[in-house]
């Protein structure tokens, strides 16, 4: 187990100016929390539940990122390439982590990612790029009721 175990929740994660983005983040944190419980109670050879939870998380992340990418295009966000590039990078990282899990079932590797690397990235990403994107959208007349 890694020494730094970070559990983000709806209360502790930074909130941005658009509700639909926050709701997606909260959903994702719920999924990661369930994933964390499966990792903590993992018994060698018992891989199915974890594999399913990982695939569901990956799918949710894909939808999360493409929805934000669409928003950035809608509002002509000037740092679109930086923010969407970060989404692509992290999605690739998650995909290779899931592939590696499917091949090796290395619980330590998975545990490091889910309890340390990912939450560090997520908190920092929400607090910077998501925050600025949501603020920009509001300042440029984006109405969340219409979406
Ligand atoms: Fe986000
Ligand atoms: Fe984002």
- Is 50 within 8 Å of 76 (Cβ atoms)? no
C-alpha 103 to ligand 2 mean position (Å):
29
C-alpha 102 to ligand 2 mean position (Å):
26
Quick: pLDDT tens for 107-138. Answer: 999 999 999 999 999 999 999 999 999 999 99
CA–CA dist 68, 87 (Å, integer): 9
> What pLDDT shows up at residue 10?
94
> What pLDDT shows up at residue 3?
57
C-alpha 76 to ligand 2 mean position (Å):
15
Shortest-distance ligand to the CA of residue 64: 1
Quick: pLDDT tens for 31-74. Answer: 999 999 999 999 999 999 999 999 999 999 999 999 999 999 99
Shortest-distance ligand to the CA of residue 60: 1
- Which tokens sit at 97? 């982590």
- Residues with C-beta atoms within 5 A of ion ligand 2: 68, 130
Q: Identify the band that residue 145 occupies on the pLDDT scale cut at 50, 70 and 90.
A: low
């Amino acid at each position: 187990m890694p020494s730094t175990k970070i559990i983000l929740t709806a209360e502790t994660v930074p909130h941005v100016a658009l509700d639909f983005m926050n709701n997606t983040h909260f959903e994702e944190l719920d999924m990661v929390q369930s994933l964390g419980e499966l990792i903590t109670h993992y018994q060698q050879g018992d891989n199915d539940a974890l594999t399913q939870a990982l695939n569901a998380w990956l799918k949710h992340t894909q939808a999360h990122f493409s929805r934000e990418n669409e928003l950035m295009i809608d509002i002509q966000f000037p740092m679109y390439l930086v923010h969407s590039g970060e989404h692509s990078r992290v999605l690739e990282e998650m995909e290779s982590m899931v592939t590696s899990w499917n091949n090796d079932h290395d619980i330590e590797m998975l545990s490091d990612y889910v309890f340390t690397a990912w939450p560090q990235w997520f908190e920092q990403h929400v607090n910077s790029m998501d925050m600025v994107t949501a603020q920009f959208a509001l300042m440029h007349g984006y109405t969340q009721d219409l979406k």
